Amino acid sequence: MLRTTSSPIFSSFRGRPKTPRLIFKAFSVLLEDSPPSARRNASTNLTTLHQGPPTSAYVHLPFCRKRCHYCDFPILALGSSSVSNAPYEERQEEDDPRITNYVNLLVREINATRTCFDTNPNLKTVFFGGGTPSLVPPKLVSLVLETLSSRFGLCPDAEISMEMDPGTFGGEKLKELMGLGVNRVSLGVQAFQDELLKACGRAHGVSEVYEAIEIVKACGVENWSMDLISSLPHQTLEMWEESLRLAIESQPSHVSVYDLQVEQGTKFGNVYTPGQSPLPSETQSAEFYKTASSMLRGAGYEHYEVSSYSKEGFKCKHNLIYWKNKPFYAFGLGSASYVGGLRFSRPRRLKEYTKYVADLENGAANWCGDGNVDLKDVATDIIMLSFRTSKGLELKEFGEAFGRKVVKSICKVYEPYVESGHIVCLDDMRKEVMSDEFKKLVGNDEKKIEDHVRYLRLRDPDGFLLSNELISLAFGVISP
């Protein structure tokens, strides 16, 4: 069970229980074999990571011109009438009261955030996601950043990312944003074919994509990412290869490739069934994934996470926080935070979110966990998140936190998949441990495994492609 709530937890702020009841309960289930010292050694332990203060913040700016046909994010569509074809700088967003009101609310939320940590380190990463954050006037972005800075402090070299859509910004706006500290741009391109963009209900065409790329480059943004979606309706392998090729040619420092998720309640969800025409078949879709992996790696990108590729030194620092199961703040409509061991999702509807902010201000709502967690939850979170990355699951650390027995059981479950090549086993030098040797090791005692097997990771692309299947196997070990 995840300790997640979609409505605020109403509890008194200060009177949170200090007894780590849950921790010990979970320990007894999971950690029969680990020495007590490992439990108390809190400073570096995986199980206590979440207890520290976050140094990352996600900020949700939900406005879009219109909703894309695949999108089920909490967004607010502004409608296209006012934006028409006017040049970016002359558009009305500046005065749109919906945006101004929302940002004011957001600022109130940030200000009402009381934490319970002894120290409050400066933020190292901020991520403006959406929606389409680039629709928000820089003036208002500045307000948000100032609020964050005064509330938590902001490192001078903090990574500040912003999602931007082609056709929603010009050079001037981008320069302004950069002046405020935005130093990483995530450009929502999705595809390089007008017919596909149209079928997705995107508010821009391919020409706007090229323009946007030009603007980003002209403004000198070095650290920028491009989002692409594979397995779109009517997408062919040729189109996909073309998109990948054009993406590579525009030389982003980072590429995110998302496999289309057909979500319930979206336009796509209403008319398409995964695997059925006009969506590509499962086999084709797997082919798309493999193609992306091989083309992007061929072009010098590292495939460091299931859907993320980067040039050296350009991994998204903010996202790495997620994959490492470290805590992070979140602000804004529908956003999800992880603080004090509690994963909390804010209301997705504006009305409820408004009420939530008020509750936060008068102390009736709290989203900060009390440090108590169900260890099984932590273990499965770590498994799920680690296996998304190319680094994989670090077994020594995991064993210290959750017991060597668990590590051995995980190795056992994965034995056939190491043999089939879906899972890669590495030693402490990150040298691959071959399948027959792995087999021998798994037959041995826990100590021997610990000495020789340091990481397990999903092989790119075959293991990544079946990540759900493989990860749920390990879940079965943690809670049978």
Output the smallest distance, CB 135 to ligand SAM, in A: 9
Which of another protein, ligand SAM, none does residue 190 bind (CB under 5 to 8 Å by kind)? ligand SAM
Neighbours of 15 (CB within 10 A): 8
Cis peptide before 15 (omega within 30 of 0): no
Which amino acid appears at position 206 of this protein? V
Interaction of residue 476 with another protein, rule CB under 8 A: yes
Stretch of 9-17, 242-250, 416-424, 428-436 lying at the interface with another protein (CB under 8 A)? 416-424
For 101-138, letters b (16+ CB in 10 Å) and e give ebbebbbbbbebbeeeeeeeeebbbbbbbbbbbbbbbb
Report if residue 198 touches ligand SAM, rule: CB under 6 A.
no
Is the Cβ–Cβ distance between 72 and 63 less than 8 Å? no
Q: Is 25 left (phi over 0), alpha (psi -120 to 50) or beta?
A: alpha
Q: Which one of residues 240, 328, 402, 438 is an interface residue with another protein (CB under 8 A)?
A: 328
C-beta closer to ligand SAM: residue 64 or 474 = 64
Structure tokens at 399: 């064993």
What's phi and psi for 116, nearest 5 deg?
Answer: -125, 30
Residue 282 or 428: the one with the smaller Cβ distance to another protein is 282
Q: Does 272 bind another protein (CB under 8 A)?
A: no
Scanning 212-220, 332-340, 356-364, 431-439 for contacts with another protein by CB under 8 A, the matching segment is 332-340
Residue 227 corresponds to which tokens in the numbers above? 């989002």
Long-range contact list for 235-241, CB < 8 A, 24+ apart?
Answer: 235/191, 235/193, 235/196, 235/280, 235/288, 237/284, 237/287, 237/288, 237/291, 239/191, 239/192, 239/193, 239/196, 240/288, 240/291, 240/292, 241/291, 241/295
For the stretch 243-256, what's the b/e string if a residue is b when 16 or more beta carbons lie within 10 angstroms of its beta carbon?
bbebbbebebbbbb
- Region binding another protein by CB under 8 A among candidate stretches 45-53, 136-144, 283-291, 433-441: 283-291
**Closest approach of ligand SAM to the CB of residue 190, in Å:** 5
468 binds, among ligand SAM, another protein, none (CB under 5 to 8 A by kind): another protein
CB of 260 to ligand SAM, least distance (A): 5
Please tell me whether residue 261 binds ligand SAM under the rule CB under 6 A: yes
Residue written as token pair 């979609």? 6
Report the residue from 330, 378, 382, 395 that binds another protein according to the rule CB under 8 A. 330
- How many secondary structure helices (H) and strands (E) does the chain include? 19, 19
Q: Judged by CB under 8 A, which stretch of 9-17, 112-120, 150-158, 470-478 contacts another protein?
A: 470-478
Q: Binding of ligand SAM at residue 64 (CB under 6 A)?
A: yes
Q: How many residues bind another protein (CB under 8 A)?
A: 50
Cβ atoms within 10 Å of 200's Cβ, excluding its own: 20
Instruction: Determine, following the binding rule CB under 8 A, whether residue 2 of this chain makes contact with another protein.
Output: yes
Work out whether 372 is an interface residue with another protein (CB under 8 A). no
Please choose which of another protein, ligand SAM, none residue 367 contacts, taking the beta carbon within 5 to 8 angstroms, the exact cut-off set by kind.
none
d(CA 434, CA 318): 34
CA angle 291, 294, 299 (to 5 degrees): 120
User: Smaller CB distance to another protein: residue 34 or 337?
Assistant: 337
Among 53, 77, 258, 355, binds another protein (CB under 8 A): 258
For ligand SAM, which residue of 229, 406, 465, 471 counts as binding (CB under 6 A)?
Answer: 229
Asked whether position 257 contacts another protein by CB under 8 A, the answer is yes
Reply yes or no: is the peptide bond before residue 252 cis, omega within 30 of 0.
Answer: no
Q: What is d(CA 79, CA 66) in angstroms, rounded to the nearest whole number?
A: 6
- According to CB under 8 A, which residues from 68 to 127 bind another protein? 73, 127
Closest of 322, 327, 330, 283 to residue 306, by C-alpha: 322
Closest contact distance (angstroms) between CB of 279 and ligand SAM is 12
Structural tokens at position 179? 């002046």
Q: Compose the 118-157 pattern: x for residues touching another protein by CB under 8 A, - for all others.
A: ---------x-x----------------------------
**What is the rounded CA–CA span in Å between residue 146 and residue 126?**
12
The contact set with another protein (CB under 8 A) reads: 2, 4, 58, 60, 73, 127, 129, 257-259, 261, 282-283, 285-286, 289, 306-307, 321-322, 328, 330, 335-338, 343, 345, 380-381, 384-385, 388, 416-417, 420, 422, 464-473, 475-476, 479
The contact set with ligand SAM (CB under 6 A) reads: 64, 70-71, 73, 129-132, 163, 165, 188, 190, 227, 229, 258, 260-261, 263
